[in-house]
Structure 1
Amino acid sequence: MTVEFSVTGGVGTITLNRPAKLNAVTRAMSADLLALVERVGGDRDVRVLVITGAGGRSFSVGSDIGEVDAYPDPWEFRNRRDYCDALRALRIPVVAAVNGYAYGGGLELALSADIRLASSAASFAAAEIKLGWIGGGGVSALLSATVPASDAALMLLTGDPVDASSAFRMGLVSRVVEPDELMEAAANVAKTIAARPPIAAQSAKANLLAARTMGREAAIQYEREMQAICMGTRDAAEGRRAFAEKRPPVFEGR
């Protein structure tokens, strides 16, 4: 399988499994990835999703360049279903464990996650400009919303890679760990989030998107409405009871 999926304790893990080709995404892999993301979105047992790449060299280098010419024309390529769009549409939190190259569509895939952790061997590049085009999976909007303007411009206009320490400096990733510690670090973050009430976690994710895309006052009002929804859930009542009874809460997502 070139796209693998497993679930443990409320944490789903998608692994791009084509390490010999640096986890470049074929059209078949893209279809599998889209189907998996849709499946995850409808599964109440999955509270957090981790996405990573197989092998120690690459998270993903994006679309397999050898398949680009299989599209009859650029318009058909433009109208393909994009796996980055599907990932960003998920209501549940997404953690990217970037274990190596995150180039082209791989960078876009990482940027489509809510939290990014990187191996010290990771590197990031908007490399499409070196081949005569630019990214189309949201890289300009996502990168410019994530890192300082000059860093975004440097990456988009040169296509040159930045290493993990530079990515951390500019805020592209939250943590950098040794390669053999990456999946444990990602699992720990995911398990922590999975232990939180699912409705509140999904609401917090929605609020972050609102904060980036709405005006400030509208975003604050949206947050207030989402807070009211959360306060009316059984999980919120359970949280208050558990606090009063000095015990760990048990959240059901209701």
Structure 2
Amino acid sequence: MTEDIRFEIEDDIAVITLNRPQKLNAVTPEMADAIVAAVTECNDSDTIRCVIVTGAGERAFCAGSDIRELDTYETPWQFRNRPDYCDAIRALLKPSIAAVNGYAFGGGLETAMSCDIRLASDNAQFAAPEIKLGWIGGGGMAVHLAHAVGSSNAALMIMTGDPVSAERALGWGLVSEVTTQAELMTRARALAKTIAARAPIAAETAKLNLKAAFSMPVEKAIEYERDLQTICFATADAAEGRAAFKEKRQPVFKRR
């Protein structure tokens, strides 16, 4: 784990912080490796139930990959097959929240969109600026933007590279809420605690179900949803939920 990534666990919530504020939290290969390691630990944990991803400092969530590092790849193919931090975030089994403070540009926008829920501070800005440098995003930019904001708005962002404000991002559905910068992590932690209190297997299968909703035909997605529901229904946590309902008490879920 590099010092440019902070990984903290408090009770059942993990926080991955991109910790390179002097460089707008731009991601280096070492940071990408550390994110992969943090995600692996989250996935292997039986106690972590929600993950927050954020950036250190007041200026940026993440400005994407460190452009100065890109020329260190010997070939475009090596660049193509590098460990990718957006892929790592998408590989999280646990529900994830992006707390976007400041710039979310390029790979930073893709990182935020790789999380399940996005919250933004009122100074946040979102951009797909790769076209200004001669390439396009490669971490899910087009597919995530098209699903989040619609084809026209996605084209506007990808083809101009210009940023949009937190207010516009909220109106487009790119983020769920906008708070002040001072309140952002408080709100993210409160939301994470709410999710962590739910049945964890159900939360993880809900995440799978949402992915299926975007990648499967409707009838197949409904069939898959029914299978996931059946799996959840067979768990000890589901039995605990039914018992708690009958006994008028709060359930105690154990991810079993």
Instruction: Tell me the TM-score normalized by structure 2.
Output: 0.98
| Alpha-carbon offset, residue 207 of structure 1 | 0.6
Task: Give a deviation string over 1:33-52, Cα, whole Å, max 9, x none.
Answer: 11111111111111110000
Whether 1:168 aligns to 2:170 is: yes
Whether 1:215 aligns to 2:233 is: no
| Alpha-carbon offset, residue 188 of structure 1 | 0.8
CA contact (8 A) 1:101 1:122 kept: yes
Name structure 1 gaps, 5 residues minimum: none
Where in structure 2 are the equivalents of 1:33-44 lying within 5 Å? 33-44=35-46
Q: Distance in 1 between matches of 2:26 and 2:170?
A: 24
Matched residues, number: 254
**Aligned AA for 1:195?**
A
What is the aligned partner in structure 1 of residue 17 from structure 2?
15
Where in structure 2 are the equivalents of 1:48-127 lying within 5 Å? 48-127=50-129
Whether 1:233 aligns to 2:249 is: no
Q: Distance in 2 between matches of 1:36 and 1:108?
A: 18
What is the aligned partner in structure 2 of residue 129 from structure 1?
131
- SS of 2:17's equivalent? strand
Whether 1:196 aligns to 2:198 is: yes
- SS of 2:8's equivalent? strand
Q: CA RMSD in A?
A: 0.7
Q: Please, which of 151, 154, 157 is the counterpart of residue 152 of structure 1?
A: 154
Q: Distance in 2 between matches of 1:102 and 1:71?
A: 24
Q: Distance in 1 between matches of 2:125 and 2:133?
A: 18
Identity %: 57
Name structure 2 gaps, 5 residues minimum: none
**Aligned AA for 1:75?**
W
What is the aligned partner in structure 2 of residue 252 from structure 1?
254
- SS of 1:180's equivalent? coil
CA contact (8 A) 1:16 1:54 kept: yes
Q: Distance in 2 between matches of 1:229 and 1:33?
A: 30
What is the aligned partner in structure 2 of residue 30 from structure 1?
32
Task: Give a deviation string over 1:37-72, Cα, whole Å, max 9, x none.
Answer: 111111111111000000011000011011111111
CA contact (8 A) 2:146 2:154 kept: yes
- SS of 1:223's equivalent? helix
- SS of 1:146's equivalent? helix
**Aligned AA for 1:109?**
T
| Alpha-carbon offset, residue 79 of structure 1 | 1.1
| Alpha-carbon offset, residue 28 of structure 1 | 1.0
CA contact (8 A) 1:3 1:16 kept: yes
- SS of 2:219's equivalent? helix
Whether 1:184 aligns to 2:186 is: yes
Q: Distance in 2 between matches of 1:211 and 1:77?
A: 31
Q: Distance in 2 between matches of 1:125 and 1:18?
A: 19
CA contact (8 A) 2:39 2:91 kept: no
Runs of 4+ in 1 over 6 A off after TM superposition: none
**Aligned AA for 2:218?**
R
| Alpha-carbon offset, residue 9 of structure 1 | 2.1
